[in-house]
């Protein structure tokens, strides 16, 4: 451990540190999906159709907005979301159908600290539990570290068990719960924090690449190795 001239413990130096750029509206290409900057004209109808495949609006419970009852209401939200830079929204485009089937965003972007968060994740039933869903998260994490961020955060309502399980499956480490962190939809939210850091990324990237490889899937589509197993090994 390093100490200063007063004998106080101090953090390790960050050699050559330079604040990264803010993320831009770019496309990210994957094997199963691609990410495109959210665009109301291009994506509203296919997203509406994809979300409408859900029998009950469970996807919206832990989001700050929605559910929407008409296409016009939903389009107004898409137009607003597509116009912001923080959060910076992307549509997840399914490669076989070329349809938008979900959204996710970068937010709370802090270049001076090298920190960036992923959130506003809303994957339709057409995207959930598919290789494309995992690949979308991989593409966003990979891009964030590639442009120089050193901390990649995931935060969710502490009661949102599926989101917490997803964070751990993707290799993000639980860091604690911030009690009474905010109020949304008229109710309290305790926020669970997860993060991955740049030192962990090379091993996590290999875990993702191994899982996403076509060799990892049997003819019937079943996975041979679980991503959670691979990311746990990477974090050791």
Q: Dump pLDDT digits (tens) for 68-124.
A: 999 999 999 999 999 999 999 999 999 999 999 999 999 999 999 999 999 999 999
Q: Which range has the worst mean pLDDT, 156-165, 167-176, 211-220?
A: 211-220
Asked if residue 221 has pLDDT above 90, the reply is no
**Could you say which DSSP state residue 22 is in?**
P
Rounded Cα gap, residues 147 and 54, in angstroms: 36
pLDDT at residue 103 in the model = 98
Asked if residue 55 has pLDDT above 90, the reply is no
The tokens describing 195, both together, are: 């993060």
Residue 136 lies in a domain: yes
Residue 183 lies in a domain: yes
Residue 175 lies in a domain: yes
pLDDT at residue 15 in the model = 87
Domain at 179, CATH number: 3.40.630.30
Residue 174 lies in a domain: yes
Asked if residue 1 has pLDDT above 90, the reply is no
Domain count, the chain: 1
Residue 7 lies in a domain: no
CB neighbour burial string for 10-21, b if at least 16 within 10 angstroms, e if fewer: eeeeeeeeeebe
The parent domain of residue 48 ranges over 21-235
Residue 14 lies in a domain: no
Rounded Cα gap, residues 69 and 46, in angstroms: 16
Residue 166 lies in a domain: yes
The SS3 call for residue 190 is strand
* Strands 100-110, 88-94: pairing kind: antiparallel
* pTM summary value: 0.95
Residue 226 lies in a domain: yes
């Amino acid at each position: 451990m390093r100490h200063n001239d007063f004998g106080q413990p101090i953090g390790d130096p960050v050699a050559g540190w330079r604040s990264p750029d803010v993320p831009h509206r770019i496309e990210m290409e994957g094997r199963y999906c691609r990410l495109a900057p959210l665009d109301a004209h291009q994506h509203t109808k296919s997203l509406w159709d994809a979300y409408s495949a859900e029998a009950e609006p469970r996807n919206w419970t832990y989001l700050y907005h929605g559910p929407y009852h008409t296409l016009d209401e939903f389009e107004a939200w898409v137009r607003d979301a597509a116009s912001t830079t923080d959060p910076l929204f992307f549509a997840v485009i399914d490669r076989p159908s070329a349809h938008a089937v979900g959204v996710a965003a970068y937010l709370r972007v802090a270049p001076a600290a090298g920190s960036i968060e992923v959130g506003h994740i809303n994957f339709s039933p057409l995207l959930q539990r598919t290789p494309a869903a995992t690949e979308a998260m991989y593409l966003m994490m990979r891009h964030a570290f590639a442009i120089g961020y050193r901390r990649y955060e995931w935060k969710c309502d502490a009661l949102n068990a599926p989101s917490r399980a997803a964070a751990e499956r993707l290799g993000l480490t639980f860091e604690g719960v911030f009690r009474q962190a905010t109020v949304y939809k008229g109710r309290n939210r305790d926020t669970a924090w997860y993060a991955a850091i740049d030192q962990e990324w090379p091993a996590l990237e290999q875990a993702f690449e191994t899982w996403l490889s076509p060799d990892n899937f049997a003819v019937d589509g079943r996975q041979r190795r679980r991503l959670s197993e691979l990311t746990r090994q990477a974090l050791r």
